[in-house]
Chains A and B, each alone.
Chain A
Amino acid sequence: AQKITQTQPGMFVQEKEAVTLDCTYDTSDPSYGLFWYKQPSSGEMIFLIYQGSYDQQNATEGRYSLNFQKARKSANLVISASQLGDSAMYFCAMREESTGGFKTIFGAGTRLFVKA
């Protein structure tokens, strides 16, 4: 069953504007963590932001914020003031406890294109 869903295969945004990348998840575990990673064309995976299931506040890290709506099981990434360097693939991921420990699973990703 698909546990992390990113419905936007590609997104365009004008430089300096804000953009929201969607992510929904499915879990029955009350304790879980949600992550966003950026993968530039060079291929490396860069951790951006984390939200714990019990966190009361939405996570923020610089220009990144996570719009966490627990009842809707959504964890959208908001990038404010987009820059050309933000053009990349973005993956939403969820860490949950499983039989042997913890594992993190990834969504299919959203490719973001920032236009000058």
Chain B
Amino acid sequence: EPEVTQTPSHQVTQMGQEVILRCVPISNHLYFYWYRQILGQKVEFLVSFYNNEISEKSEIFDDQFSVERPDGSNFTLKIRSTKLEDSAMYFCASNGGAGNYGYTFGSGTRLTVV
């Protein structure tokens, strides 16, 4: 069964450093998403991406965050200057279209900012 692949599974970084979280969505999917989940809390929407541009973003997704689809397969989330409160599990998801199907989530990247 097709999978969404995220790397790395765990990243530790120092406060103020830049991090790039990588995702390979399912190849024929059109919509891509980043979500985060602070430990023990709910899953929060960050951003959606379609047709090589951001289609929607939340208030969490401020100027410190950016997304890219640099080639036909990768979808990245960059945090420019990490803060302690950025520590969370970051999930990438993809979806075939605006239709009736749930998203396929990657297994997540646990980001720890120290």
**A: which residues have CB within 8 A of B?**
33, 35, 37, 43-50, 52, 91, 93, 98-109
- Per the CB 8 Å criterion, the residue count for chain B at the interface is 29
Interface of A: prevailing SS: strand
A47 to B48, CA, bound (A): 18
**CB-defined contacts of B48 to chain A, threshold 8 Å:** 100-103
A57 to B33, CA, bound (A): 29
Contacts between chains A and B (CB distance < 8 A), count: 71
Interface of B: prevailing SS: strand
Whether the pair A100, B54 counts as a contact (CB closer than 8 A) is: yes
**CB-defined contacts of B100 to chain A, threshold 8 Å:** 33, 50, 52
Q: List 23 A-B contacts (CB under 8 A).
A: A45-B93, A46-B105, A47-B101, A47-B102, A47-B103, A47-B104, A91-B43, A93-B43, A99-B56, A100-B48, A100-B57, A101-B31, A101-B55, A102-B56, A102-B98, A103-B45, A103-B58, A104-B33, A106-B35, A106-B44, A107-B42, A108-B41, A109-B42
